[in-house]
Amino acid sequence: MNKYFLSLMSILILFQSFKVSDEIFNNKKDQKKGYIILEQEDDDDEVTVADDKSDVKEEKIDFELLFTKASLDGGEKIAKQCVACHSVDNSLKVKVGPPLWGIVNRNAASISDFKYSEALINFKKAWSREELFYFLEKPKDYIKGTKMIYKGLKKPSDRADLISYLESLK
Ligand code: HEC
């Protein structure tokens, strides 16, 4: 009787361990599947990144849109960051930087009584909306060697607001 019971038990244990190992095996399989799914999600992300890049190419369209939405009042507030170094009225007073009156579409480095850096003299472009937009994002990166020490404005909408305000200075 005892023998029978023991062998029954061992069969049960054996059976149980098969089940357990089966479960482990299945789990592993599931994990593998899960991994593959994750990888696919990564691929999807890359596709999204590629989409973002194509958005950058279409920035010109967004650029126009940005300016139709721009706020002059918002720009005036942001311009407080500039007035420490720039005058904004028609006195055309030179401060640490050249005056910003009439800056939009003015030729770069064209204020005769301001001593510009070599970098800005060599820039040789007019300050269109677009040039200002990229310069003000990070001046030091856009014109390497400029002596304008200003960290820049990250948000495109802030720059559009500011440039709209600068356009009103005429
Ligand atoms: C810490 C002082 C400082 C601040 C703040 C500053 N600027 Fe300037 N800015 C300068 C100096 C100095 C120059 C001349 C740069 C050179 O010669 O390389 C300059 C040049 C410029 C020019 C080119 C002008 C020209 O005649 O070609 C523009 C445009 C300009 N700044 C806009 C701005 C705006 C807009 C802001 C505010 C968001 C700002 N700056 C903030 C110091 C400053």
- The candidate with the shortest Cα–Cα distance to 136, out of 93, 112, 107, 104, is 104
pLDDT: which is higher, 136 or 9: 136
The reply to whether 94 and 11 lie within a common domain is: no
- Is residue 84 within 6 Å of ligand 1 at its C-beta? yes
- The candidate with the shortest Cα–Cα distance to 66, out of 132, 150, 125, 141, is 132
Quick one: pLDDT at residue 46? 45
The reply to whether 26 and 92 lie within a common domain is: no
DSSP state of 86: -
pLDDT single digits (tens) 60-119: 558 889 999 999 999 999 999 999 999 999 999 999 999 999 999 999 999 999 999 999
Q: What is the pTM assigned to this prediction?
A: 0.72
- Is residue 95 within 6 Å of ligand 1 at its C-beta? no
pLDDT single digits (tens) 18-75: 665 555 555 544 444 444 444 444 444 444 444 444 445 445 558 889 999 999 999 9
Label residues 68-78 b or e (16+ Cβ within 10 Å = b): eebbeebbbeb
CA angle, corner 76, sides to 73 and 82, nearest 5? 165
CATH assignment at residue 99:
1.10.760.10
The reply to whether 98 and 124 lie within a common domain is: yes
Q: What is the mean pLDDT of residues 133-140?
A: 98
Quick one: pLDDT at residue 26? 55
The reply to whether 28 and 90 lie within a common domain is: no
Q: Rounded to an integer, what distance in angstroms lies between the CA atom of residue 72 and that of residue 69?
A: 10
The tokens describing 110, both together, are 């064209």
152 pLDDT tier (thresholds 50, 70, 90): very high
Sign of the CA dihedral 134, 139, 140, 145? positive
Nearest-CA residue for ligand 1 atom 17 is 116
Our mutation pick for probing the ligand 1 site, out of 150, 153, 168, counting the most ligand atoms within 8 A of Cβ, is 150
Phi, psi of 90 (to 5 degrees): -80, 10
- The candidate with the shortest Cα–Cα distance to 94, out of 103, 85, 102, is 85
Which atom, in ligand 1's list, is nearest to the CA of 123? 27
One-character DSSP codes across 88-151: -STT---SSS---TT-TTPBTT--TTS---HHHHTT--B--HHHHHHHTT-HHHHSTT------
Which atom, in ligand 1's list, is nearest to the CA of 121? 17
Quick one: pLDDT at residue 47? 45
The reply to whether 43 and 81 lie within a common domain is: no
Q: How far apart are the CA of 68 and the centre of ligand 1, in A?
A: 25
Q: Please tell me the total count of domains within the chain.
A: 2
- Is residue 149 within 6 Å of ligand 1 at its C-beta? yes
DSSP state of 21: H
- Which domain range does residue 49 map to? 2-57
The reply to whether 46 and 71 lie within a common domain is: no
The reply to whether 24 and 78 lie within a common domain is: no
The reply to whether 52 and 24 lie within a common domain is: yes
The reply to whether 121 and 74 lie within a common domain is: yes
- Is residue 66 within 6 Å of ligand 1 at its C-beta? no
